[in-house]
Structure 1
């Protein structure tokens, strides 16, 4: 019995897309993070550098959301990100995250892509 000589290997983009898709909330309403105050991220999300973020400061909040979108697990995404803040800052935030993360979120939540179009 001959074994296949070539087994397809998924490329890095496919692996990342699957990883980020698993972290998505079921719906944007599940994003119940704080709208104000300080957030301290756990070590499994940010293992070096800045861990505390002020949600009331735009630049700090942008850094927080970028970090959680890239490194957080589903419970981090739903517990730290706030639906209204995410939608409000999406037009800028989408330019600061990787194309794969942006595509995963906009494919899952068309209202984000609509927000992008409205801001353009």
Structure 2
């Protein structure tokens, strides 16, 4: 199901049934951490172990996948995702197809990242 919303493509892609994927307007506004340990809020990750060491490539990917899939707020993206890092790891992320399409629809450079 496609829902009209204010995106560059005019289409909202669901992150989950009934909930559109949230996409930042620009990659430059994504100024999340690039090092250290980040603990996700419960609204983004429900298990007790929500801390991610960004030095570990697998943990970084797992954190980004959870944030991109679960967020309902652009503020989460701004505070938890780094635009340059996102470009670097984009092809390695395991995202639902609709989330991937929403991001690539707004940020065409991710397709060739």
TM-score tier, shorter chain, comes to: 0.7 to 0.9
SS of the residue corresponding to residue 69 of structure 2 reads helix
Which structure 1 residue ranges, 4+ long, deviate > 3 Å from structure 2? none
TM-score, reference length from structure 2: 0.81
Does the 8 Å CA contact 2:41/2:50 hold for their aligned counterparts? yes
Superposed displacement of residue 49, structure 1: 4.2
Aligned residues: 101
The CA distance in 2 between the partners of 1:99 and 1:16, in whole Å, is 9
- Which structure shows the higher strand fraction? 2
The CA distance in 2 between the partners of 1:114 and 1:11, in whole Å, is 25
Superposed displacement of residue 24, structure 1: 1.4
SS of the residue corresponding to residue 41 of structure 2 reads coil
The one-character-per-residue Cα deviations of 1:27-78 (angstroms, maximum 9, x if unpaired) are 0001100010010011111122431001111000000000000112211111
Matched with 2:70 is 71
TM-score, reference length from structure 1: 0.76
Gap regions ≥5 residues in structure 2: 4-11
Matched with 2:20 is 19
Matched with 1:5 is none
- Which structure shows the higher helix fraction? 1
Higher relative contact order (CA 8 A, sep 6+): 2
